[in-house]
Amino acid sequence: MIGLLLEPRIPQESRSDVLRVVLLRYGFGLAASAVCWMLPLPAGVRQVLVLSLLAPVPSVSLAYCERCGCDSGAVGAIHSLCIPISLAFTLLVCLM
């Protein structure tokens, strides 16, 4: 499973889909995180909410994709892109 998930190549035929999914995921995640950050909650609670909204795609999504007959290459590429992006957001949130 790790070998399937850490695929650094994005298949040519699914690049637009991968980009759209990543942008939608983090666009909505950032918008929801901004709303959560403004809530009158303790800082630790706000950080946990933001981190959960910006977490990477679950690893199990590839297994579900395989069972449903979806494009596993695209899902693997999404997963590979989301890990470093989420790591960067995690570092930013922890520094706040």
In Å, what is the CA distance from 15 to each residue of 25, 64, 69, 73? 15, 20, 18, 10
Percent of residues, the chain, with pLDDT higher than 70: 86
pLDDT attached to residue 1: 44
Of 44, 61, 46, 58, residue with least CA distance to 86: 58
Tens-place pLDDT, residues 70-95: 777 777 778 778 888 888 888 888 88
Q: What is the pTM of this model?
A: 0.72
